Chains A and B, each alone.
Chain A
Amino acid sequence: MALDRTDVEKIAHLARLATEESELPGYADDLSNILKLVEQMDAADTANVEPMAHPLDMAQRLREDEVTEENQREHFQNIAPQVESGLYLVPKVIE
């Protein structure tokens, strides 16, 4: 499927990426080429084939409900762009 500029803008929004007007044609071409490659999948007969989500046939492991990790808030917030009183700061969301 060939994508146009509007498609790219829509996808970029879904992916939370900002795109410059000048980048749109390049992305449209590249993404269309990749999709052309991907669409070779159409030739595969997958009737009655179970989808494989994961390489190993395994069930999700469960463990005892015990505390295993300590609170390390200060340690983790050392690398945050902006924090105040133990909270991550972002631009105002609610007026």
Chain B
Amino acid sequence: MHTKTIAEIIEGLRNKQFSSEELTKAYLDRIKQHDKTLNSFITVDADVALKNARDADKKIADGNAESLTGIPIAQKDIFCTQGIKTTCGSKMLDNFIAPYNATTVQKFNDVGAVLAGKTNMDEFAMGSSNETSFYGAVKNPWDTNAVPGGSSGGSAASVAARLVPAATGTDTGGSIRQPAALCGITGLKPTYGRVSRYGMIAFASSLDQGGPMTQTAEDAAIMLNVMAGFDQRDSTSVNKPVPDYTSTLEDSVKGLKIGLPKEYFGEGLDPAVGDAVQVAIKEYEKMGATVQEISLPNTHFAVPTYYVIAPAECSSNLSRFDGVRFGHRCDNPKDLMDLYTRSRSEGFGEEVKRRIMIGAYALSAGYYDAYYLKAQKIRQLISNDFKQAFEKVDVIMGPTAPDVAFNIGERTEDPVTMYLSDIYTIAVNLAGLPGISIPAGFAKDRPVGLQIIGNYFEEARLLNVSHQYQKVTDWHRRVPKGFE
């Protein structure tokens, strides 16, 4: 049962092959059985999940079922869930029970989805390996010596190991796509503004975007149908109609113009990953797509630019954690300054502190022009690169990450080496474009992801293009050994 996709589960529930309660119990059992090894969940509330399931079964019996009614979905622990702990992977929020639901969580509740649990993540979504979590590293189900990627590492690992049919993630610099690639699943980062950020704990507000993490593109389309849409409560939410993302999945890719940025296939790319990606692109040519080389000349500035903008925004966003209204407070503060500094220093981990300090420095008097303003100007150049590329091509393809999953502990000593894990994903966030990673084979026995980047609000095309590939390949149906 656990290898079924959402689309297949919907079928099974509709035909009464199983109830939501049976389904939910089966997944909860799997979590119990396997998550000691993987550590992909921070919180699992079986009582809530089973209650959701029974409510869903009633809804189904009454003939009121909607797309995801009765289907267990895991939420990244960055989405606020009323009454259930929301930690964001941090000691700072170890005691935090959100007083309201994130819009995304509410939308899943409204259609009767089952909350399977809250997934582990890098602390405040700052990391590319899920090693910065206060709750410990997550293991990659393909090889438990390897990281699952990050920051949505728990979501990626749990979906890859089939502990849940699907999960949510968030992507600020690659945090959906990179773990999806490293764990061999499908992960979509929508256009900035497409999915509400309300109740999604903020890291870098001009970059953060929530999205689905699933086995297949079809499932991602079903999930996005629920997640996307205008939200009055998010000031940067876009008021634009949401198409039915499942309705265009079967469109042909004949004549599709694919651009391959030469900068994504050069130095720094592991040759075995490059080979797998080239083989995937050949599949598209077989289906009638055309391929041309393009250039995104400012690609090499993306990581440096990101490490000004993201820390600057994070230092501002995370100033709300002051030990006064919620979250961790130090014992016996001697004065207000001591309360602030000690609560923050005890509550935040090393990587979060580094980024807050970089941001505070970049925004401090005398440095603004050299860092933040300069970064914003380069952000414009990077965005222009994409604009020009999309005048020539329909989609851009390349590797999601420069290498397959690395080993736990291998890159923790040097933050900068870790940052380079996101060289192909970060520019997409800076521009605000949608991007997807889909499984495209293996290198060194670990999964490889193919990244497909689309123009603004072209999620439907990305899902269509991904689905067509998944019809002629079976990488997305591979299950890691020990989890079959």
- State the A residues within 8 Å of B (CB): 3, 8, 11-12, 14-19, 27, 30-31, 33-44, 46, 49-56, 58, 60-61, 63, 72, 75-76, 78-82, 88, 90-93
Are A18 and B354 in touch, CB under 8 angstroms?
no
Which listed segment binds A: B131-139, B149-157, B377-385? B377-385
The SS class assigned to the A binding surface is: loop
Q: 0/1 per residue, B296-333, Cβ < 8 Å to A?
A: 00101101110110000001000100111111010001
Residues of B within 8 A of A93 (CB): 335-336
> In the assembly, what is the distance between CA of A91 and CA of B304, in Å?
40
In contact, A15 and B356 (Cβ under 8 angstroms):
yes
Smallest beta-carbon distance A1→chain B, Å: 9
Is B406's CB within 8 Å of the partner chain A?
no
**A56 near B238: Cβ-Cβ < 8 Å:** yes
Q: Which of B321-375 contact A (CB under 8 A)?
A: 322-327, 329, 333-342, 344-345, 348, 353-354, 356-362, 364, 371, 373-375
Asked if B416 is at the interface (CB within 8 A of a chain A CB), the reply is: yes
Q: Cβ of A76: which chain B residues have Cβ within 8 Å of it?
A: 99, 325
Whether, in the assembled complex, B179 has its beta carbon less than 8 Å from a beta carbon of chain A, the answer is no
Q: What residues of chain B have their CB less than 8 Å away from a CB belonging to chain A?
A: 95-97, 99, 192-193, 206-207, 232, 235-236, 238, 298, 300-301, 303-305, 307-308, 315, 319, 322-327, 329, 333-342, 344-345, 348, 353-354, 356-362, 364, 371, 373-381, 383, 414-416, 419, 430-433, 456
| Chain B residue contacts of A3, Cβ below 8 A | 361
Known A34-B358, A56-B236, A91-B339; further 10 A-B contacts with Cβ < 8 A? A15-B344, A18-B341, A27-B357, A31-B361, A38-B308, A46-B378, A49-B377, A56-B432, A81-B324, A92-B335
Closest-CB distance, B382 to chain A (whole angstroms): 9
Complex CA distance for A43 and B459, rounded to whole angstroms: 34
A33 touches B378 (CB 8 A): no
Inter-subunit contact B236/A15 (CB<8 Å): no
On whether the beta carbons of B377 and A38 are closer than 8 Å, the reply is no
> Which listed residue, A15, A51, A55, A63, touches B373 by the CB 8 Å rule?
A51
B307, B378, B379, most chain A CB atoms within 10 A: B378
| Contact among A15, A49, A51, A72 for B315, CB-based, below 8 A | A15
Q: Which residues of B contact A58 (CB under 8 A)?
A: 193, 236, 238
Residues of the A chain whose Cβ atoms lie less than 8 Å from the Cβ of B329: 81-82
Which B-chain residue is minimally distant from A54 (CB atoms)? B206
| Contact residues in A for B374 (Cβ distance below 8 Å) | 41-42, 44, 46
Instruction: Return A89 CB to nearest CB of chain B, in Å.
Output: 9
Does the CB pair A17–B341 fall under 8 Å? Answer: yes
**Is B341 in contact with A49, judged by CB distance below 8 angstroms?**
no
Min CB distance, B421 to chain A, in Å?
Answer: 13
Interface of B is mostly: helix
What separation, in Å, do the CA atoms of A47 and B340 have in the docked complex? 41
Are B414 and A79 touching (Cβ within 8 A)? Answer: no
From A16, A50, A80, A91, give the contact of B333 (CB < 8 A).
A91
Contact B344 A55, beta carbon cutoff 8 Å = no
CA distance A52 to B97 in the complex (A): 36
Contact A50 B380, beta carbon cutoff 8 Å: yes
Complex contacts, A50 vs chain B, CB 8 Å: 377, 380
Across the interface, name the chain A residue whose C-beta is closest to B352: A17
Q: Which residue of A lies closest to B335 (CB)?
A: A91
Residues of A within 8 A of B301 (CB): 40-41, 43-44
B237 CB to nearest A CB, Å: 9
In Å, the complex CA distance between A57 and B335 comes to 44
Report the Cα distance A14→B344, complex, angstroms: 12
CB pair B236–A34 under 8 Å, yes or no, is: no
Contact assessment for B344 and A16 in the assembled complex, using a CB-CB cutoff below 8 Å: yes
Bound complex: CA A78 to CA B336 (Å): 21
Closest to A16 in B: B340
By CB atoms of chain A within 10 A, which of B315, B358, B456 has the most? B358
Q: Are B206 and A38 in contact (CB under 8 A)?
A: no
Q: Which of A17, A18, A40 is in CB contact (< 8 Å) with B304?
A: A40
Shortest CB distance B330–A (Å): 9
Roughly how many angstroms separate A18 CA and B353 CA in the complex, as a whole number?
A: 10
**Chain B positions within 8 Å of A53 at CB level:** 206, 376
User: Would you mind naming 26 contact pairs between A and B with Cβ atoms under 8 Å apart?
Assistant: A14-B360, A15-B344, A15-B357, A15-B360, A17-B356, A18-B344, A19-B345, A31-B357, A34-B358, A37-B416, A38-B307, A40-B300, A41-B301, A44-B378, A46-B377, A51-B377, A52-B376, A53-B206, A54-B236, A58-B193, A79-B97, A79-B326, A80-B326, A81-B324, A90-B336, A91-B338
Q: What residue in chain A is nearest B341 (Cβ atoms)?
A: A18
Chain B hits for A88, CB < 8 A: 324-325
- With a cutoff of 8 Å between Cβ atoms, the chain A residues found around residue B415 in the complex are 30, 33-34
Does the CB pair B432–A41 fall under 8 Å?
Answer: no
Which of B337, B357, B430 contacts A11 (CB under 8 A)? Answer: B357
- Tell me the complex Cα distance, A37–B307, Å: 8
Is B324 a contact of A44 with CB atoms below 8 Å?
no
CB distance B432 to A55 under 8 Å?
yes
User: B220 CB to closest chain A CB, in angstroms?
Assistant: 21
- The smallest C-beta distance from A15 to any residue of chain B, in angstroms, reads 4
Task: Kindly report which residue of chain B lies nearest to residue A34, judged by CB atoms.
Answer: B358
